[in-house]
Amino acid sequence: MTDNTTPIATPEHTVDGFVREFLRELNFGQGTDLTRASVNDKYLAMARTVRHYLMVRWLATLRRQYQLQAKSVAYLSAEFLLGRQLDNALLAADLDEVVEEGLASLGIDLAELREAEVEPGLGNGGLGRLAACFIDSLATMNVPCIGYGIRYEYGIFRQTFVDGWQVEKPDNWLALGSPWEFPHPESAVTVDFGGHTEQYTDESGTTRSRWVPGWSVLGVPYNYMVPGFENGRVNTLRLWSARATRAFDLEIFNAGDYAQAVRAQTFAENISKVLYPEDSTPQGKELRLQQQYFFVACSLRDFLDQVLPHDFDLRNLPDRIVFQLNDTHPVIAIPELMRILVDERGWEWSEAWAITQKCFAYTCHTLLPEALEVWSVELLGKLLPRHLEIIYRINEDFMAELREAYPDDELRVRRMSIIAEYPERAVRMAYLATVAGSKVNGVAALHSQLLKDKVLHDFSDHYPDKFTNVTNGVTPRRFVRLANPGLSELITSAIGDGWVTDLDKLQELEPLADDADFRAAFRQVKRANKLRLVDVLAERDGITVDPDTMLDVMVKRLHEYKRQTLKLLHVVTLYDQVTSGAVKIEDVTPRTFAFGAKAAPGYRMAKQTIGLINAVGRVVNNDPALQGRLTVAFPANYNVTLAEKLIPAADLSEQISLAGKEASGTGNMKFALNGALTIGTDDGANVEIRELVGDDNFFLFGLLEPEVAEIVDRGYHPTSYYEENRSLRHALDLIASGAFSGGDRATFEPIVSNLLSEDRFLVLADYQAYIDAQERVDEAYADTEAWTRSAVLNVARSGFFSSDRSMRDYIDRIWHTHPVPPER
């Protein structure tokens, strides 16, 4: 008998094998031939061919998981910022050379096809990219994991500049086909919304509540491969797309209104139409709540009904799964599991609660109070009436528990209520997650400490064992091995290639920091990376960059707390010093200031700041007095693809948030790993980077978190800094004078007056410390050998920031899952 569970064979891992398969895909899959094929045809055929090489592994992984029923992680995340897929797949399957050669033999340039891939921008920034790094690490570490999220039809907007101002364009990433996904419409699940609840009496005479939904939509799963690095494992990422149910439009159609029926379809499909472009500052929009419930309801349904065997006893659920809540976006999964167990399976409340508490863990990603999601009771009750009842019930029990623990402290009990009463009655999702989750973690040591001491202090007091830290990490596959092939080769030639999956091995580079030849080779790699970037920026943006300048980079979302304006004040100060004659241009270190940042479309101050960066850039770049020694480069539409080119070329990494505001940062890690030195505050993961790389190899400046708290408590007066600091005053006056806005004083008035009146993130208080630190940077940079030594030490000492290490920490402290090596 043939083994019908392995019906396919992997194409031959040779140039010929690849070429045959590729041509077959081009002919039979794309329906064209080499003479007629467009670049997109070739790209799609190649991508599908590469997929074939991973398919046997994927099916084997699924089969083995079904047989073993090993405990898995379900990573629930509203965002997965994947970046381009092709190179990662080639790396995982060890195919890059075969494909390059194979294509070349047909007269096709792999580099050209690469550029045809549109990156799936299904995330805003750090949070979504972190999710992508985590699933990469789990696959590489052989840990069973399924990522669950939303297949947004439009990802993060494409940023363009018009006269220096941000204009958003839709990101129609699916327009030319999406070869990395596998749709499964036959496995669609139904998700209900709206309606009301009603009481009824069950067979045993107990009064129970049930949900009578008002409308429903279908969730269609799209599967993506998540290949481990050369280890034979391929995990799954399952993203949900919304469709109208048959009943939905038929009902209306039967009523005779065809146009209305089509509109109904649009209404349903809107749920997965677009990613909300707010980073760290959610807005309480109904559609966003629909998205959140939509994807977790689909995911729970999928896991319980499709992934688990039919006879699975849900009392054992915690042995089989842990649902990791990536921030509060998926927290509605908690009442959803309760509803399934109590309403659909008829469990007792207490039994259901005991199991639910063991199945969830929550990661908090913020310290900004405005970023802690709340949903108004009115909205939640309208959209998910039964879930609201369940949340109330959870809260009732929780309040009773608290009153028993703190009989004389009603104030505290109310403070901790999952339901806020002011300014409107609303559900605090972070509190719900903390009460229900088995663990709560922050994303860097300082952040986790501040969560315990401040944001969730009452809770950490009440549940001391729930709180833990897992410092973020980044995948060395994408951000070193793929993004920086030159450095990868250099490292491998020195210490072998084990570092790709064991990043602590980078420590072995440490002695080479003192080896002049190694340093020279290291500098050569950096220079080659700069030259590559120069080409990319010229081609992509028409920007000219001089590779012989220090590349000083600040790339991240535009947010006041991250303080792009502080960086800008440094640029304006240098400009002022040179143009006023206070400093001779020959004495200025030639620098290119590279910015990359998207602003949330509704965030006015952020958009103003983008306008100001471009305005300062225009003046600085065109001033002959600066002789091209100071340049501002602000390519539009910063994304993962551009990050992979920018980071390896950087000399200086700007991580200058106000202390106590950046939960972790992950860009900071990518720069250090690629040999840039950091100028940074004592914030987020900067703290750990500095501890590891050493004070001599890091430019620390600025107020510490407790100092910030003290100043704010005392009452912060930005004008006093303005009055007392001459160069700060000059810089701000210059902006206010219209020097960067064609003499128009009104254009950037909001930024200046905001800094002078409120300055919520203490830009002015940290200004002088920042300028001083930049002078230390200049001095250090002047000593090329010493600078290179520091850069090498940054690489050698940053192995801790691998997301493989983060995953090990999650496994040890939170998930208690185990690797499952593939069958050999």
Binding site for ligand NBG (CB under 6 A): 125-127, 130, 279-280, 327, 365-366, 371, 443, 472, 662-666, 684
Greatest extent of the chain over all pairs of C-alpha atoms, in Å: 90
Indicate the residue among 366 and 438 with the shorter CB distance to ligand NBG. 366
Six-digit token string for 804: 């493989």
- How many contiguous H segments (helices) and E segments (strands) does the chain have? 33, 23
Least distance (Å) from ligand NBG to the CB of residue 810? 13
Is the backbone of residue 68 left (phi > 0), alpha (psi -120 to 50) or beta?
alpha
CA atoms within 13 A on the CB side of 56: 14
User: How many C-beta neighbours within 10 Å does residue 611 have?
Assistant: 21
Least distance (Å) from ligand NBG to the CB of residue 160? 24
3-state SS, residue 650: coil
Calpha distance 728→6 (Å, rounded): 69
Six-digit token string for 317: 């659920």
User: How far from chain centre, in Å, is Cα 6?
Assistant: 36
3-state SS, residue 512: helix
Q: Are 652 and 677 in contact, with CB atoms under 8 Å apart?
A: yes
Calpha distance 769→356 (Å, rounded): 49
Which residue from 574, 557, 558 is spatially nearest to 770, judged by alpha carbons? 574
Which residue from 344, 347, 107, 135 is spatially nearest to 235, judged by alpha carbons? 135
Indicate the residue among 674 and 790 with the shorter CB distance to ligand NBG. 674
User: Which residues neighbour 785 within 8 Å (Cβ) at sequence distance 6 or greater?
Assistant: 516, 519
Q: Which pairs from 243-251 meet CB under 8 Å and 24+ separation?
A: 243/185, 243/188, 243/217, 243/218, 243/219, 243/268, 243/269, 244/217, 244/218, 244/268, 244/269, 245/190, 245/216, 245/217, 245/218, 247/216, 248/215, 248/216, 248/217
Least distance (Å) from ligand NBG to the CB of residue 153? 22
Q: Which residue has the tokens 């997929």?
A: 51
User: How many C-beta neighbours within 10 Å does residue 256 have?
Assistant: 8
Indicate the residue among 130 and 418 with the shorter CB distance to ligand NBG. 130
Calpha distance 255→371 (Å, rounded): 44
Strands ordered across the beta sheet of 677-680 = 630-633, 591-596, 550-555, 652-655, 677-680, 698-700
Least distance (Å) from ligand NBG to the CB of residue 657? 8
Whether a cis peptide bond, with omega within 30° of 0, leads into 423 is yes
Indicate the residue among 377 and 456 with the shorter CB distance to ligand NBG. 456
Calpha distance 412→126 (Å, rounded): 34
Q: Are 157 and 347 in contact, with CB atoms under 8 Å apart?
A: no
At position 77, the amino acid (one-letter code) is S
Pairing state of beta strands 419-420 and 426-428? antiparallel
Six-digit token string for 709: 């708290």
Whether a cis peptide bond, with omega within 30° of 0, leads into 309 is no
Indicate the residue among 476 and 684 with the shorter CB distance to ligand NBG. 684
Calpha distance 367→663 (Å, rounded): 6
Least distance (Å) from ligand NBG to the CB of residue 289? 17
Indicate the residue among 126 and 476 with the shorter CB distance to ligand NBG. 126
Which residue from 421, 451, 454 is spatially nearest to 437, judged by alpha carbons? 451
Positions marked active-site: 365, 556-557, 562, 666, 670
Calpha distance 57→62 (Å, rounded): 9
Going by the DSSP 8-state scheme, the letter that residue 748 receives in this structure is T
Six-digit token string for 430: 């972070």
| DSSP codes joined into one string, 223-251 | EEEEE-SSSS-EEEEEEEEEEE-HHHHHH
State how far the alpha carbon of 500 is from the alpha carbons of 27, 202, 495, 672, 685, in Å. 37, 58, 11, 16, 22
Least distance (Å) from ligand NBG to the CB of residue 557? 8
Q: Which residues pair with 362 in a beta bridge?
A: 325, 440
User: How many C-beta neighbours within 10 Å does residue 482 have?
Assistant: 19
Indicate the residue among 223 and 664 with the shorter CB distance to ligand NBG. 664
Least distance (Å) from ligand NBG to the CB of residue 449? 15
3-state SS, residue 56: helix
Q: Which residue has the tokens 């640029």?
A: 571
Q: Are 724 and 682 in contact, with CB atoms under 8 Å apart?
A: no
